[in-house]
Amino acid sequence: MNNIELWQSVLAQMQFHISKANFATWFQNTEIISKDCEKIIISVPNAFSKEWLSNKYNKLILKTLHDIDDSIKDLEFIIKPQPSKNALPKMPSIENEQPEDTQLKFEEFKTNKETNLNPRYTFTSFVVGSFNELAHAAAMAVADNPGFTYNPLFIYGGTGLGKTHLIQSIGNKICEESKKKKVKYISSEKFVSSIVSAIRTNSMESFKASLAPIDVLILDDIQFIAGKNKSQEEFFHVFNSLYEKNKQIVLSSDRPPNAIAELEDRLRSRFEGGMIADVSLPDYETRLVILKTKLQEKNMDLPEDVLDYIATNVKKNIRELEGALNKLLVYNKINQTLDLETTKKLLKGFIFSPFDVANYKKIIETVAKFYNLEEKNLFDPTRRKEIVRPRQVAMFLLRKELKYSFPAIARKFGGKDHTTAIYAYKKIMQENEENNKLTEELNLIKQRIYSA
Ligand code: ADP
Ligand code: MG
Ordered per-residue pLDDT tens for the chain, 452 residues: 888 888 988 888 887 777 665 676 678 788 999 988 789 999 987 776 787 788 888 888 999 898 888 889 999 999 886 653 333 333 333 333 333 333 334 445 689 999 999 999 999 999 998 889 999 999 999 999 999 999 999 999 989 999 999 999 999 999 999 999 999 999 999 999 999 999 999 999 999 999 999 999 999 999 999 999 999 999 999 999 999 999 999 999 999 898 898 999 999 999 999 999 999 888 898 999 999 999 988 889 899 999 999 999 998 899 999 999 999 998 998 888 899 999 999 998 888 665 566 788 889 999 999 999 999 999 988 889 999 999 999 999 999 888 888 888 988 888 778 889 999 999 999 998 887 788 888 988 987 887 65
Instruction: Find the ligand nearest to 159 CA.
Output: 1
Ion ligand 2, residue ranges at CB < 5 A: 163-164
Distance between CA atoms of residues 250 and 172, nearest Å: 13
Distance between CA atoms of residues 247 and 135, nearest Å: 20
From the CA of 378, how far away is ligand 2's center (Å)? 30
Q: Does ligand 1 lie within 6 Å of residue 290's CB atom?
A: yes
Structure confidence by residue, pLDDT tens digits, 164-201: 999 999 999 999 999 999 999 999 999 999 999 999 99
284-350: in CATH 1.10.8.60? yes
128 CA: nearest ligand 1 atom: 23
Q: Which of 95, 92, 152 is nearest to 125 (CA)?
A: 95
Distance between CA atoms of residues 304 and 307, nearest Å: 5
DSSP string across 18-38: S-HHHHHHHHTT-EEEEEETT
Structure confidence by residue, pLDDT tens digits, 393-449: 999 999 988 888 888 898 888 877 888 999 999 999 999 888 778 888 898 898 788
> Of the residues 161, 218, 219, 220, which should be mutated to test ligand 1's pocket, given the most ligand atoms within 8 Å of the CB?
161
121 CA: nearest ligand 1 atom: 16
From the CA of 162, how far away is ligand 1's center (Å)? 3
Q: Does ligand 1 lie within 6 Å of residue 322's CB atom?
A: yes
From the CA of 190, how far away is ligand 1's center (Å)? 20
- Residue nearest ligand 1's atom 14 by CA: 319
Neighbours of 61 (CB within 10 A): 24
From the CA of 46, how far away is ligand 1's center (Å)? 25
Neighbours of 311 (CB within 10 A): 23
DSSP 145: S
From the CA of 127, how far away is ligand 1's center (Å)? 9
From the CA of 163, how far away is ligand 2's center (Å)? 5
- Residue nearest ligand 1's atom 19 by CA: 162
132 CA: nearest ligand 1 atom: 23
Can you give the pLDDT at residue 135? 95
Q: Does ligand 1 lie within 6 Å of residue 135's CB atom?
A: no
Domain boundaries, the chain: 3-94, 133-279, 284-350, 360-450
Q: Which of 189, 193, 252 is nearest to 217 (CA)?
A: 252
Architecture of the domain defined by 133-279: 3-Layer(aba) Sandwich (3.40)
Residue 58 and residue 70 in contact, taking contact as beta carbons nearer than 8 Å? no
Q: Starting from the edge strand earliest in sequence, which strands make up the sheet with 39-44, in order?
A: 31-36, 39-44, 74-79
Domain 3-94 belongs to what topology? GMP Synthetase; Chain A, domain 3 (3.30.300)
Tell me the longest C-alpha to C-alpha distance in the chain: 73
- Taking the mean position of all CA atoms in its chain, how far away is CA 39? 37
Element containing residue 96 per DSSP (H, E): none
Torsion 242-246-248-253 (CA) sign: positive
Q: Which phi and psi angles does 321 have, rounded to 5°?
A: -60, -45
Can you give the pLDDT at residue 101? 36
CATH of domain 360-450: 1.10.1750.10
Q: Does ligand 1 lie within 6 Å of residue 319's CB atom?
A: yes
Q: Does ligand 1 lie within 6 Å of residue 321's CB atom?
A: no
Residue 280 and residue 157 in contact, taking contact as beta carbons nearer than 8 Å? yes
From the CA of 80, how far away is ligand 2's center (Å)? 33
The type of residue at 269 is: S
State how beta strands 39-44 and 31-36 pair.
antiparallel
Distance between CA atoms of residues 268 and 263, nearest Å: 6
Judge if pTM exceeds 0.75: no
